[in-house]
Structure 1
Amino acid sequence: MLFPNGTVMVNYRVRVKGPCQLDLSNFPLDLQTCHLIYESFNYNNHEVSMSWSPIDSPVYNLTPVVLPDFDLFNITARKVIEPYPAGMWDELHVYIVFERRFIWYFMQAYLPTYLTIFISWVSFYLGPRAIPARTMLGVNSLLAIVFQFGNIMKNLPRVSYIKAIDVWMLASMTFIFCTLLELAIIGYMVRDEGKPKKKSSRPSTPCPDQQSPGGFDKRFMYPAVCAKPVNNYNLMEQLTPERIDRFSSIMFPLSFLIFNLSYWIYYLQRKQQIAEQMIMGNFT
C-alpha cells in the first residue's frame, strides 16, 4: 500500500527458521535465546531506511505460543546500524527468549533420584548382621540410578562442559556409593562374629612391682611368661556397628539436605542472573 506521503506499507506472512545458540550449563533450569535479523539485501540506509514502530513492544505474539518443552519468556527488539564496505545498513534485531519447562525433568529425573536415595538409606535400619540384604539393596540402588542417568543423557546433545543435571546425578551416585562404603566397614567389623576365639596356650602370671621394698630394681628378674596389665583406650571398642549405623542414619540425610539447599539455591539464582543478563544485553 502506497500512501500520499511516499510511505510504503508491506504486509505479508514470513516463515523462517532462526538459529538458537544453546547453553546447557544450567540445564534443565536454563533459558535459550533465538536471534533474528531483518535487513535489506541491496540497499543501504540512504536508499531504504528501516525502523521499528515507535511503540513499547514492536514485536509481539498474536496468539499464545505453546511448545512441548519451552515457554515464551521474553521478546525484545532493537535497531542497529551496521557498517559495510558499500555504506551503512539498517538492521532490525529480534531476540526471543525461551524458558525450559522444568516439571517434566523433575518428574522423570529428580523425583526418582530422591526415591532411590531414600531407599538406599533403609539399610541403616536393617541391622549390622543383615549383610546380604543390605548389599542387594545398595547395589540395586546404584544400578538403578546409573541406568536412569544414562537414559536421560542419551536424549541430550553432547557437550564438553558440566550441566546442572550432571552435578545432581553424580552427587546422587556419590551418596549411594558412600552407603556401600559404610556397609563395607560394617561387614569388616562383624566378619569374625560367631567364630570361636583362639585361647593362649601359655598361662600368664601377674608381674611383681618393678621396685622391691628394699629399693632394688628387679625388672630383669621377671619370669618369661610374665604379663603386665596394660590399660589402653581402644577406639574400635567404642565404634560398634550399631553406633556407626546410628551415626550414618543421621549424617547421610543431613548431608543430603545441605547439598539440596546448596544445589537449588545456586542454580535458581544463576537462572535469575542469566535471565537478567539476557534482557539487559538485548537492549545494549
Structure 2
Amino acid sequence: MMVTCIILVVLIACTSPAASLIRDTSDVSKIRKNIMEQIFEKYDPTVPPNFIEEIPVESSIQLYILSIDTINDSSMDFSVSMFIRQRWTDIRLKYNNTIGVSRLELDTKVMKNVWVPDMFITNEKKADIHHVTVPNMLMHIYPNGNILYSMRCDLVDFSDAYTTGNLVYRWHDDPIVYDKYMSLPQFQLDGITTYSCDKVYHGIKHKYTCLKMDIALTRNFGYHLTQIYISSFLIVILSWVSFWINVDATPARISIGILTVLTITTQSSGARESLPKVSYVKAIDIWMAVCLLFVFGALIEFAFVNVLSRVERRRMSSRSKRSNEPNLLSNVKTINRDKMADFILFVKRSLTNREKARIVDKLSRVIFPFVFLTFNIIYWSVYALWEPELR
C-alpha cells in the first residue's frame, strides 16, 4: 500500500507542469483571440489611419534582395527576387501590453482585414507574389499600433491611390540589404542607390509619394573581349594579307577582301542585336565601324592597284598588236621620229603604272597597321582609363 501511494504522488508531480503548460498555451491563445476581436470590432480597412485628422501615414520601406538575374541587354530589363518590408503605425490597432502579448502574428486570411499601403512600379513589366507553399507574406501588429508587413515578390515601389496628404513613403534606415558578392551573368553589381521623390502626373494637381532605387551594373568585359574585340581584330589583320599577294592574283585578293567585309558586317549586326537599341553611340559601335572601315579600305586598295595593273596590261596588248616584227630593234630605222617618241613615252608610262601598283601595296603594308595601332591606343585610352572617371 505504501508503494502505491508513492507512485501516485510521483505521477501527479510529473503531470502537473504539462497540464500547466497546456493551460498557459490555451490562455495565451484565448487572449490573442480576444485582442484581435477587440481591435477589429470597429476597424474599417478601407479607411487609412489618421484619415479624420488629415495626417499622412508615414511608411518606411526596406528591401531584402535575394537575387538579380535574367538580365536582357536588348530589351533593357532584368528580374529581381526580394522581400519587401513596410512599417507604419495604425493607432486603431493599439492594444494593452500588460497581458504579456508582445506582438500579434497575422495569417494571410486576417491580413485582408488590415489597411495596407498600395504600391506599384512605374517601369514594371511583370510582378508576382510567391505562393509556394502558401502566400509568402507576414504581418506583425505591436502594442503601440506599429505594423510590420513583409512579402516576397519581384518588384514594388510607388503609391498611386493615395496622395502625399494621405501617405508618405520613406526609406528605412537600412533601406537595401543584399549580398555585395552576388554573382551575376556577364555583369557585376557596383552598388544600389536610393532616393525619395514626389511624382506629379500630367493633368493632376495632387502629388504622389514615390521612392527610387538605382541599381548600378558594370558589364563584365571578358565575354565581349573574346567574342567581339579579338575576333574583329584578327579579321582586320587578315584583310591586310592581300597587300603581300601579287597584284595579278585577282581571285585570291578579291576573295579575302569580300570575305572580311562580309564577316565584319555580320559580326557588327550580331553585336547590335545583343545590345540595347539606344539613340547614342556606344563604344562597341565605334569599334565595329572602324574595323569595317579598315577592311573596306583594304578592298578599295586592291581595286585601285588592280585598275593600274589592267591599264598596263591593256597598253602592253596594244603595243604587241602595233608591232608586226618580232625584233623591235631591227625596225627602229623604219619608224619615224614622232612614232619613236610616242613609243618611248608609252613604255615609260607602262612601267610607271606597274610600279605605282607595287608602291601602293608597299605603303599599305605600313600605313594600315600604323593607323589601326594609333586608333587602338586612342580607343582603349579613352574607354578603359577615362570612362570610369566620367561615370
Tell me the TM-score normalised to structure 1 length. 0.65
The within-5 A match list for 1:3-82 is 6=144, 8=146, 10=148, 12-17=150-155, 37-38=157-158, 41-42=161-162, 44=164, 50-54=169-173, 58-62=175-179, 64-80=181-197
Query: Which amino acid in 2 is paired with 1:203?
Result: I
Residue 103, structure 1, aligned to residue 241, structure 2 = no
RMSD (CA atoms):
3.8
| CA–CA distance in structure 2, aligned partners of residues 110 and 244 of structure 1 | 28
Unaligned runs of 5+ in 1: 19-36, 206-223, 276-284
The worse-fitting range, judged by mean Cα deviation, of 174-183 and 195-204 is 195-204
Q: CA deviation at 1:180?
A: 1.0
If each structure's strand is expressed as a fraction of its own residues, which one has the higher value? 2
| CA–CA distance in structure 2, aligned partners of residues 141 and 61 of structure 1 | 47
Q: Which residue of 2 aligns with 1:168?
A: 287
| CA–CA distance in structure 2, aligned partners of residues 254 and 155 of structure 1 | 31
Q: CA deviation at 1:274?
A: 5.3
Query: Which amino acid in 1 is paired with 2:352?
Result: E
Check the 8 A contact 2:163/2:207 in 1, yes or no: no
Report the CA distance shift for 1:41/1:8 in structure 2 as closer, same or farther (over 3 A): farther
| CA–CA distance in structure 1, aligned partners of residues 228 and 245 of structure 2 | 28
Unaligned runs of 5+ in 2: 1-139, 324-331
Report the CA distance shift for 1:186/1:40 in structure 2 as closer, same or farther (over 3 A): closer
When Rg is computed on C-alpha atoms for both structures, the one with the higher figure is 2
Q: Which residue of 2 aligns with 1:250?
A: 366
Q: Of residues 237, 241, 247 in structure 1, which corresponds to 2:352?
A: 237
Check the 8 A contact 2:192/2:214 in 1, yes or no: yes
Q: How many equivalent pairs are there?
A: 233
Residue 93, structure 1, aligned to residue 212, structure 2 = yes
Q: Which residue of 1 aligns with 2:40?
A: none
Report the CA distance shift for 1:225/1:107 in structure 2 as closer, same or farther (over 3 A): closer
Q: CA deviation at 1:86?
A: 8.8
The one-character-per-residue Cα deviations of 1:121-162 (angstroms, maximum 9, x if unpaired) are: 111112323222111111111122222222333344544544
Query: Which amino acid in 2 is paired with 1:67?
Result: L
Report the CA distance shift for 1:190/1:77 in structure 2 as closer, same or farther (over 3 A): same
The one-character-per-residue Cα deviations of 1:44-92 (angstroms, maximum 9, x if unpaired) are: 46x66654344xx632314643332322122112334668989776544
Report the CA distance shift for 1:203/1:97 in structure 2 as closer, same or farther (over 3 A): same
Q: CA deviation at 1:249?
A: 0.5
Q: Sequence identity, in percent?
A: 26
Structure 1 counterpart SS, 2:368: helix
Q: Which has the higher contact order (CA 8 A, sep 6+)?
A: 1
| CA–CA distance in structure 2, aligned partners of residues 150 and 87 of structure 1 | 47
Check the 8 A contact 1:60/1:75 in 2, yes or no: no
